[in-house]
Structure 1
């Protein structure tokens, strides 16, 4: 839903959004209804990105097929990829005159799971509208269960994120596959050099930057036990005290 005004939800929709929680969507995204088991065990999701003219973004989730037309999702038994949503490039083009970006980009995982939509809660007229969980008078201003969640704490665990890129240019509908942040089709480094002021922080948002590009620091840490590197480790041939991931 890019460039879409998400108004009050209608009866039967999987999410509940009031008039006060309506908003303008200025980013590419999709909503998908989860099951209770999604909050109790690990699940795998997938997104496929085909940028440029004719491209598309596909969101997938794991489920297992009961028959040719029905799948069950979220019970932890899923082995089949089920497409949850598709956004085609022509949809963006006709709606906003834009395309799925194919310029060099960062990968930022912006993920959220909730049983309610937005904050603050759409409070009744008689509510004090205070936001203090220690004050019982304020309970009417919070979504049900919000204060209990804040007291007990809640966590969403991400086990791994894997990024693959096809070596076959025919799998890419636009330009050939590129690696790095300065491909020939988009000379990013030259552009930044010509517009340095756009990439340097200025008060009041931060101290003056001397340069727009900063050196990327390598970690240099050593793996001593499996948990250090998230994998099985073996001793290096060159240094018996240094270990490398398998």
Structure 2
């Protein structure tokens, strides 16, 4: 029961910072991560996750962080802290920290907790009901009741977006708000943090505000940076009216049309061949290489940019750069012809039955390979920080098989003949030949020789086991035969001594007649 309840709490916590516009991350992925975290905790840690302590108690009067006092609580496995030292008032004319100062304090606190709690971080939240009020330079709005009085959901969205942006920039992914109570009190107590007394108005303004808060927040609670999603699109249309077009979020940014090939300038070279748009099965290679000198090192908002790091403007620009880049999915469509119904002429994937791309490539493999430039199988070498970055399963799920490890910040495959790829997560083919037969009959897993060797050992051990069992049965049968022979010999000796004479000399009467 405890595990199920805590799983719900954990999912709720990450749900508060979920990116509303990205539903493609499946719920079971969060469940898997939650299960792994929970299973690694003992009872003290699970209880600690249900305790939340005011962060303000760990600061001195001058707002400096008391690490020793905080470490004592970290030893108790406390899982959540809230607010900070500025609720109690200003100090030396300051009413809050800069975003960088917030991140420095929270980063140090996380380091202490991880040291004392087997690497598990804590969850931190703060009140930002009308802006990041304790972050210097942040935008501060009027109280929520004022926002509701505008009856403007778009304004509420903007307020939420800015509050979420500024709070996250200070290293806090969790806002304690909005306050959704329906309040009606003519005495006017402290109800200005609500959206008023009308349920419809409260729900409408709250919905827009929450969407605004979540619009600029990374899915990963520990990430102190912004997350944006872009859709890249490539259209390849063949024929006389064809073109190759690159688009970004639906807007074309570059295009090459068929006439660029077919109507080339002839000049004096009348034999300049007329070209057509390529129309044949082909590979699709997606290259998203990123410069190793991009952004900050390590990639984390608030770190200094490359260079001397003394220009605050440059540092601010650097903080706005993407810290991590990830491909969510690649989807391919195949145009099957305009003569089909509008809802069926597009085929998802690149190998439809009417255009068997894979079959064509398999049958014409020589046209797609170069004997002088053979395939190169990559084995490790991806950047890493821990062993889980270089194995199947990774940080989600557990497996006894570790296909790689992190050595000097680079992945190194443990079973180089069976598992490869930059992160040692790709099952290698049984043969690296580029012949048609090897492509069409590609086998994954351990090499064939190793598989046959293991199979041979299993068969040999099976024969040995059967042989030993047969020997044991024969020995048991021999022992039983010997025992029976000894019994018969003993019986004959009794007869010879006349000890059982009356039985041997019993009359031939039918004894069954003597029983009722």
TM range (shorter): 0.3 to 0.5
Kindly indicate which of the two structures has a greater share of residues assigned to helix.
2
Kindly indicate which of the two structures has a greater share of residues assigned to strand.
1
Kindly name which structure, 1 or 2, has the bigger radius of gyration based on alpha carbons: 2
TM-score (structure 1 length as normaliser)? 0.35
